[in-house]
Structure 1
Amino acid sequence: MNTLNRRQALRAGSLAAAGGVALAGGVTGALGAPAAFQHGVASGDPLPDGVLLWTRLTPSADAVPGSGRGRQQTVGWEIAHDPEFRRIAARGRVGTGPERDHTVKVDATGLAADTWYYYRFTWRDSVSPVGRTRTAPARGSAVDLLRFGVVSCSDWQAGHFAAYRHLAERGDLDLVIHLGDYLYEYEADPDGVRPHDPPVEMVTLEHYRRRHAQYKTDPALQALHAATPWVVTWDDHESANDSWSGGAENHTEPDEGPWSERQAASQRAYAEWMPVRYEPGGHIYRRLEFGSLVELSMLDLRTYRSQQVSHPFDRGIHDDERTITGRKQLEWLTSGLVTATAQWKLIGNSVMISPAQFPSTLNTREFEALTDLIGPIEGVPYNVDQWDGYTHDRATVLRTLRDHGVSGTVFLTGDIHSGWATELPADPLTYPLTGDSVATELVCTSVTSDNIDDYLRVPPRTLSLVVEAVLKLANPHVKYLDFDSHGFSVLEVTPEAVRMDWFRLADRTDPDSSAEVTASYRVPAGTNKLERVPRSLDGATPRFEAATEAERAEAERQARARQARETAPNTAARRDDAPSNEPAASREAS
Structure 2
Amino acid sequence: MSLPDPFRHGVASGDPTPHQVVLWTRVTPTEAAQPGSGAGPQVRVRWQVARDARFTRVVSSGSQTTGPARDHTVKVDAGGLSPATTYFYRFSYDGVHSPVGRTRTAPAHDADNARLRFGVASCANWQAGWFSAYRHLADRDDLEFVLHLGDYVYEYGPGEYGMGIGNVDVRRHDPPHEMVTLADYRRRHAQYKTDPDLRRLHARHPFVLTWDDHERMDNSWRAGGVNHDASEGSFAARSAAAYKAYDEWMPVRLSGTSALGDGTRIHRRLTFGRLAQLSLLDLRTYRDEQVALPVDSPTLDDPGRTITGDAQMSWLKRTLDDQHCLWRLVGNPVMIAPVRAPSLYSGLLDKVNQATNGTVPLPTDGPPYNTDQWDGYTADRKELYQHLRDQGVNNAVFLTGDIHSSWACDLPVDAAAYRLTGGSVGTEFVCTSVTSNNLKDITGTPPRTSSLAVEAAVTTANPHVKFLNFDDHGYAVVDITRRRLQVDYFKISARDDRKATSTRMASWATTVNSNKVHAVSTGVQG
Instruction: Point out 4+ residue stretches in structure 1 off by more than 6 angstroms.
Output: none
Aligned to 2:148: 178
Given the alignment, which residue of 105, 119, 136 partners 1:166? 136
- Where relative contact order (Cα < 8 A, 6+ residues apart) is larger, the structure is 2
Give the secondary structure class of the aligned counterpart of 1:321. coil
1:471-550 to structure 2, matched below 5 A, reads 471-538=458-525
Q: Which amino acid aligns with 1:84?
A: R
Structure 1 residues 370-379 or 513-522, which shifts more? 370-379
Q: Which runs of 5+ in 2 are unaligned?
A: 160-166, 255-259
- Structure 1 contact 293–495 (Cα < 8 Å) conserved: yes
Task: Output the CA distance in 1 between the equivalents of 2:351 and 2:19.
Answer: 47
Pairing 1:148-159 to 2, within 5 Å after superposition: 148-159=118-129
Say whether residues 1:367 and 2:343 are aligned partners.
no
2:190 is the counterpart of 1:213: yes
Distance in 2, matches of 1:527 and 1:379, equals 31
Post-superposition CA distance 1:197-244 (Å, at most 9, x none): 001101000000000000000000000000010000100000000000
% identical equivalent positions: 52
Report whether the alignment pairs 1:277 with 2:253.
yes
- Do structure 1's residue 320 and structure 2's residue 290 form an aligned pair? no
Task: Give the C-alpha shift of residue 510 in structure 1.
Answer: 1.1
Q: Counting helix residues as a fraction of each chain, which structure ranks higher? A: 1
The offset of 1:123, in angstroms, is 0.2
Structure number with bigger Rg: 1
Q: Where do residues 220-235 of structure 1 align in structure 2 (5 Å cutoff)?
A: 220-235=197-212
Cα deviation, residue 434, structure 1: 2.1
Q: CA deviation at 1:432?
A: 2.9
Instruction: Provide Cα deviations, 1:162-188, integer angstroms capped at 9, x if missing partner.
Output: 000000001111010000000100011
Q: Give me the CA root mean square deviation.
A: 1.4
| Residues 78 and 121 in structure 1, CA contact (< 8 A), matched pair in contact too | yes
Determine the structure 2 residue equivalent to 1:336: 319
Amino acid at match of 1:410: V
Q: TM-score, normalised by structure 2?
A: 0.94
Q: Supply the AA of the counterpart residue of 2:448.
A: R
Q: Distance in 1 between matches of 2:363 and 2:158?
A: 28
The answer to whether the Cα contact below 8 Å between 1:76 and 1:94 also exists between their aligned partners in 2 is yes
- Residue 119 of structure 1 is matched in structure 2 by 89
Alpha-carbon displacement from aligned partner over 1:91-142 (angstroms, at most 9, x marks no partner): 1111111001000001000100110000000001210000000000000211
Pick aligned residue for 1:250 from 227, 238, 241: 227
Q: Is the 8 A contact 1:427 1:435 kept in 2?
A: no
CA–CA separation in structure 2 for the residues paired with 1:99 and 1:26 = 20
Equivalent position of 1:147 in the other structure: 117
Is 1:465 matched up with 2:464? Answer: no
Equivalent position SS for 1:82: coil
Q: Read off the aligned partner of 1:63 and give its amino acid letter.
A: A
Among 184, 187, 193, which residue is 2:170 paired with? 193
Mind listing any 5+ residue stretches in structure 1 that lack a counterpart?
A: 1-24, 28-33, 540-590
1:495-554 Cα deviation digits (max 9, x unpaired): 111100111100111121001111000101110111100111249xxxxxxxxxxxxxxx
Cα 1:518–1:435 change in 2 (3 A) is closer
Q: How far 1:436 sits from its partner (Å)?
A: 1.4
Q: Which residue of 2 aligns with 1:352?
A: 335
Per the TM alignment, residue 54 of structure 1 is displaced from its structure 2 partner at its CA by 0.2
| Alpha-carbon distance, 1:358 to partner | 2.8
TM-score of the superposition, structure 1-length normalised? 0.84
1:370 to partner: Cα distance = 2.0
Residue number in structure 1 paired with 2:268: 286
Q: CA deviation at 1:364?
A: 3.1
Say which of 429, 432, 437 aligns to 2:419.
432
- Check conservation: 1:338, 1:400, Cα contact below 8 A: no
Shift of 1:297: 0.3
Q: Quick one: which amino acid aligns to residue 128 of structure 2?
A: A
Q: CA deviation at 1:375?
A: 2.1
Q: 1:310 aligns with which of 292, 304, 317?
A: 292
Matches of 2:124 and 2:422 in 1, distance apart?
37
Aligned partner of 1:57 in structure 2 is: 27
Check the 8 A contact 1:44/1:276 in 2, yes or no: yes
| Pair 142,374 (structure 1): closer, same or farther in 2 beyond 3 Å | farther
Per the TM alignment, residue 435 of structure 1 is displaced from its structure 2 partner at its CA by: 5.4
DSSP 3-state at the match of 2:198: helix
Partner SS state of residue 504, structure 1? strand
Amino acid across the alignment from 2:169: G
